[in-house]
A and B are shown apart, each in its own frame.
Chain A
């Protein structure tokens, strides 16, 4: 909520032709609407928008990646406007179709298309990961923390890099153990392997593990619960999954991105360009609620809040892996 105001530090202008009916649409990623994390976050934002505004939202789930372009084009032809593309895989499709339909507004989440009718929404996952990394290092008694990534792609390395930097920030001697689940999209939904990787890291001495691995994370959390260690959730607030085990969650507010895009279109102040949602904009954050308040001491909370303020204030610059495809020491 607080980020609505923050996000719009810019001059609003109406891109909608006034009087035209608002017909928003969403094209979901391969994971489908009910993936318990990324796409479902968008669904939550869309549901909230429909509830608040009474405007119905069309949506489409693709069955293969070549359908992205077709889906956007079909929506555009039907006059759906604005259209949200969920996920970085849709970048090329949005680029193509947005070029063909300059009067339709597109919002692309997690990737950038530089066209006058496209709003690109990025998240500073490294900032959020930095915070939970710091919290992991503070909570660790062994001085070893773990990371389990999903598919080995630059985006996940960005999570990993931010996490490492955060851990080292509060404890320069901390050791970070890291594994990727796999190199295919199957790595997003392999809880069995996630559990095995987590157990391996626990055996090597880690006592907090951050899973940035979609459905694979469920296995990581279960392993942490079984071993009596701690785990950190990702994307949505997963603290409720295992109270007492989930140290925190790195939340990524895709729901907000979707909600705000539609809301802005309705209010006539949707605008194109790149929106980067970091800690400052409330796009990423760490989650503290009744499920994990017992795990987070006052000292830890103070330290993390301070770190967050420093990042927001620019005193700490978190390295973005994807700026140079590297995570320098």
Chain B
């Protein structure tokens, strides 16, 4: 009965229902907070102000959101081509490796304005290359993309551990970390940029990557809906047979779309390595690749939706950290539960409330 026409105004569909989902999630989370004897109001207030309350909180929220925009866009692009790219984690990891290798090799030779674009290019290139292998296997050998991309996450982790422990580790370092890049090799921090124009904000990891993330979102939108290749990519995703009929070489499109997906994921590595940490170390992606899947699903695979979902996840990440800070009895595991509830209600149960709203609005208009 999918033929039943949807009778909901657009603002309800994209605005009211998601808002109600988040409210429901916070309601349930509030009950849990209540159960351990803390005030739910205080907890929610801390989460909200902790994520959006002042410049520094917003900076952290945006910093987390930057990663999620990249990985979310990566999943969304592949999804439009009918592919489920689970490998964002590994592609971001390898993208970061690309940046790191370039910086370790060049940071003392080239000026900063040259290093940044090189880093950008290498993050994208390495991420794309890491996605290209599963893409080729999918297109020409029929290996299922979900399986291969998952496996490539493990391969990426193993490769980087090997390189970090045996090759790239800084001499005398206790941790498996590379040396710090020369000062030229870093993206401008947002608080520095804002400081130059006279706006004073606290130190946060927010850096120029967020501008690149916004540009990537616009670029993905242009690409998918305003270029012939984007058209072909969506045609393959919606109906491979129609694509063949239209003379589209679907295998090439599959490879191209996954490479683009991998390149976008790789840019999350740029944010972490060239933007924030200025050195290579282990596990810098910290799950952003997997979160990107939820971000894309919640954002309905549209760049604007991905951007909004990334903000929500960034706020959850940051607000959750503040919560654990301010209320010691709420452990980090509890914070994960609260974050999980929000994801559950606004992602997995996104259509749960829909029928009720449809009835409500049908009655209202009928």
Contact = CB atoms under 8 A, between A and B. Distances in A.
Interface of A: 32, 58-67, 69-71, 73-74, 77, 88-89, 91-92, 100, 110-111, 152-155, 183-185, 322-323, 325
Contacts of B177: 92
Interface magnitude class on chain B? 35 or more
11 contacts: A61-B332, A63-B332, A64-B283, A64-B286, A65-B283, A66-B205, A67-B321, A77-B202, A92-B177, A183-B158, A185-B282
B60 A153 contact: no
Nearest to B331: A61
A69 B332 contact: no
A21 B325 CA distance: 20
Contacts of A60: 324-325
A65 B281 contact: yes
A91 B174 contact: yes
A100 B161 contact: no
Nearest to A158: B174
Contacts of A64: 283, 286-287
B169 interface: yes
Contact of B205 (A62, A63, A69, A110): A69
Given A70-B321, A184-B158, A154 B174 contact: yes
Contact of A74 (B171, B286, B325): B325
Interface stretch (B94-102, B105-113, B271-279): B271-279
**Chain B at the A interface: SS class:** loop
Given A58-B328, A152-B165, A154-B173, A184 B277 contact: no
B328 A59 contact: yes
Given A63-B335, A66-B276, A66-B286, A111 B203 contact: no
Interface in B161-180: 161-162, 165, 169, 171-177, 180
Contacts of A184: 157-158, 161, 282
Contacts of B286: 64-66
A62 B321 CA distance: 8
A91 to B, nearest CB: 7
A256 B161 CA distance: 32
- Of listed B162, B172, B175, residue having the most chain A CB within 10 A: B175
Given A154-B173, A154-B174, A183 B332 contact: no
A71 B50 CA distance: 13
Nearest to B154: A184
Contacts, number: 77
Interface of B: 60, 157-158, 161-162, 165, 169, 171-177, 180, 202-203, 205, 272, 276-277, 279, 281-284, 286-287, 320-322, 324-325, 328, 331-332, 335-336
Given A65-B283, A185-B283, 11 more contacts: A32-B332, A63-B320, A63-B321, A64-B283, A66-B272, A66-B277, A74-B325, A77-B202, A88-B175, A92-B279, A111-B174
Contacts of B335: 63
A76 to B, nearest CB: 10
B204 to A, nearest CB: 8
Nearest to B318: A70
Given A60-B324, A60-B325, A65-B286, A111 B332 contact: no
B328 A63 contact: no
Given A64-B286, A64-B287, A73-B203, A88 B174 contact: yes
B165 A65 contact: no
Nearest to B63: A66
A91 B321 contact: no
Given A66-B272, A100-B203, A185-B283, A155 B162 contact: no
The 9 closest A-B pairs by CB, nearest first: A64-B286, A88-B174, A183-B161, A88-B175, A61-B332, A63-B332, A111-B174, A153-B176, A155-B174
Contacts of A183: 158, 161-162, 165
- Of listed A32, A70, A110, A322, residue having the most chain B CB within 10 A: A70
A185 B165 CA distance: 12
A67 B172 CA distance: 24
B175 A322 contact: no
